[in-house]
Amino acid sequence: MWIAIVTVGSDFLRLSAAPDLPMPAESVEVLLPVALDRSFTYSLPEDIIAPPGSFVEVPLGPRAVAGVVWGPGDPEVPAGKLKAVRQKLELPPLGDELRAFVDWVARYTLAPRGMVLRIAVRGARNPGDETPRSAVIATGSAPGRATPARTRVLATASDGVPRSKSDLARAAAVSPGVIDGLVADGALRIVEVIAEPIGSGLQPDLGRPELSEAQADIAALLQAAVRDRTGSTHLVEGVTGSGKTEVYLEAVAEALRTGRQALILLPEIALTQAVLDRVTRRFGGAPGEWHSTVSAKRRARIWTGTASGETRIVVGARSALFLPFRDLGIIVVDEEHDAGFKQEDVPVYHARDMAVVRGKLAEAPVVLVSATPSLESRVNADAGRYRHHLLPERFGGRTMPEIELLDLRADPPPPGRWIAPRLEEQVRDTLARGEQALLFLNRRGFAPLTLCRACGHRFACPNCSAWLVEHRFRRQLACHHCGHHEPVPPACPKCSTTDKLAAVGPGVERIRDEAAALFPEARLAVLSSDLVIGADSIRAELKAVEDHAVDLVIGTQLVTKGHNFPHLTLVGVVDGDLGLGTSDPRAAERTFQLLEQVTGRAGRGAIAGRGIVQTTDPLHPVMQALKNHDAAAFYAAEIDARADAMLPPFGRLASLVVSAPVRNDAEAYARALAQSFPASAPARLLGPAEAPISLLRGRHRFRLLLRADRTVDVPGLIRAWLAEAPRAPASIGLHTDVDPVSFL
């Protein structure tokens, strides 16, 4: 009856408020976490009181499903169709703000509302009673015998936080036996603890760092935004090593001080132990950690903890954006340029952009943080939609690494090798000084292409338009798009010639072999996601590099993810041109971001760093931007090019993914759709001919691209078109991914 319409920038955000008098509801509208856009009306037994947001169990067909009361029931539904709510569930209700967010995201991403609700209720169950667990704390007395391992353990335990034996051993990187030894020695004591709510008991003023003037200024502005309860958006752009994390943690501290909660989003949380450690040090306790590998029980504790308000800080992957925060005071999106914020499955959404919307609904500032912002965020900052804060210098007087462009045409490596003499010499000098070097190549495996020298046959993926990559360590040929793999055959499948198969081009495994031959005395480590499997072993490898147990690192983009290597002084980029040759309109932007991040790993410690980028095109704008540390000029040029081409964020771009188990079905439907697109529409449809296909989770995917001027409501246009378009056979799925700018 009384609908409050909250307009934020456009009419996209509608927040429906409850009527001011609780009417005795006879029926309720219930949204269910299944692939349905519709909600259903159920009758409400007189003894159940279920205001909007309540969790209820309802019958759906033959099953009983837990859903959420979304509002009053639809009186138009004939009484004979109504089924009754079975029971109300003992769970904290979903607040108005989160329900409005679910509706908004579903409408914007063209996803069924139930699929969005599903994300918001993952973890919505009672964690049950907590049984006391045993933990160890430091007693304060010195051990009888001090070893480096023991010293590390006691340093870790000196904060007084009780930890389980295994957690403490892992945190100090020692074997569990060391802990038992210290307990026997009386330096550690076993205590029984009842687990506090996760992410609670945090102290905003515990580990306050010294801030530079520039850091303190930005921190003060962000803190004011937290206090003001405005849904403002901020872009904090600071070069690698400028201390961005300290700045946003001060804003997080302000949220804690004012009694509110904080959410820190990270693109790949399994790799970013560093941020968790820093939050723990800064606030004297661990935040809630939310990502796909967190156990169901921990999930439940964090979900209920955020709903009750006891969990004060959550550090999480994109789905943490749908947690039921009671009073959210700030959202931080760290590494905001990272493509990991994009969810490719239904609902297809970009967490950075959805964060902006949730921030507005929650009246909380959103802080986007990066050394290499996305073009979208740069444009939004330039246009004044986001406030732009710059940290142009490294913290503590450290300098940016000096970047050298190594022209591969003038100084090529010997045939069959990829490290040019000049880079080899620089690595040798670095190692001789006892410093650490990194050779970066963003390509897994041994060689990206295998061909038969006898007949010219090339090994291609049967499902995708891609070559198979040889993985010599695993003795396989693998497709990096769909995961197809086969053993390396002894002979050519086409002409049966043996011993004529040739590996073409380098991958990290091949660079490892080359480096091992060139620098036989160096301790090598390869950091590649297919060789280092599982979050724990990745963390262990990163720690070994951090501790200088490795001299020369050979790595893929795994090494660019938020880790500091204090001993690293030289970064060599083996193929700077990789990624620039594609037709992806974001190729230059992505390559710049990647190479700036990886060269920025050098010189974060006491010794100044250097970067050497091997390239065949030293005059390319990306190379010049790296060398001159002139991101501003690069961004300006890229933004102009985007504006001319009407690409996001100037034009609207949507992709529709048609997927089916059979490739021909997907293609036929994609064509049928394309033909039905009206010529008069204020947008152009591209594909499917020029669209790449791939196989993902057993389904062939065809992409259609829709390009429009920014004045078009793309989700609306697609909805209207699909209502008229040929209906998809049920075995064909259609995802939609709308580039988000319209809500700003």
Contacts with DNA, residue ranges (CB under 7 A): 34-36, 40-42, 58-63, 74, 77, 81-83, 115, 118, 661, 729-731
d(CA 302, CA 311): 7
Report phi then psi at 447, rounded to 5: -145, 135
Supply the DSSP string of 613-640, one letter for each residue.
EEES-TTSHHHHHHHHT-HHHHHHHHHH
DSSP H helices, 333-400, are 351-362, 375-382
CB of 299 or CB of 378, closer to DNA: 299
Closest contact distance (angstroms) between CB of 733 and DNA is 8
Q: Give yes or no for a contact between 467 and 448, defined as CB atoms under 8 angstroms apart.
A: yes
From 627, 559, 567, 621, select the one nearest 594 (Cα to Cα): 559
Known binding site for Zn(2+): residues? Answer: 452, 455, 461, 464, 479, 482, 492, 495
The DSSP secondary-structure symbol of 397 reads G
Minimum distance, C-beta of residue 663 to DNA, in the bound complex (Å): 13
Q: At CB < 8 A and 24+ separation, what contacts does 530-539 make?
A: 530/444, 530/445, 530/471, 530/474, 531/473, 532/558, 535/270, 535/271, 535/293, 538/270, 538/271, 539/273
Nearer to DNA, 661 or 678 (CB): 661
Smallest gap, in angstroms, from Cβ of residue 703 to DNA?
Answer: 20
SS3 per residue for 641-701: HHHHHCCCCCEEEEEEEEEECCHHHHHHHHHHHHHHCCCCCCEEEECCCCCCEEEECCEEE
Write out the binding residues. 452, 455, 461, 464, 479, 482, 492, 495
- The residue with tokens 């090593």 is 241
Query: Closest distance between DNA and the C-beta of residue 81, in Å?
Result: 5
| Spatial separation of the C-alpha atoms in residues 461 and 582, rounded to whole Å | 18
250: left (phi over 0), alpha (psi -120 to 50) or beta: alpha
Q: % helix / strand / coil in the chain, to the nearest 5?
A: 35, 25, 45
Give the shortest CB-68-to-DNA separation in angstroms: 14
106's enclosing H/E stretch is: helix 96-109
Closer Cβ to DNA, 35 or 720, answer by number: 35
End-to-end alpha-carbon separation of the chain, Å?
28
CB of 306 to DNA, least distance (A): 23
Distance CA 105, CA 96 (A): 14
Residue 293 CB burial class (10 angstroms; 0-12, 13-18, ≥19) = exposed
Which CB, 35 or 517, lies closer to DNA? 35
**Residue closer to DNA, measured from CB, 64 or 410:** 64
Instruction: CB nearer to DNA: give 252 or 732.
Output: 732
Report the C-alpha gap between 352 and 357 in whole angstroms. 9
573 residue type, one letter: V
Cβ at position 357, least distance to DNA in Å: 23
Residue with Cβ nearer DNA (74 or 344): 74
Tell me whether residue 1 or residue 730 sits nearer to DNA (CB atom): 730
Is the Cβ of residue 232 or residue 343 nearer to DNA in the bound state? Answer: 343
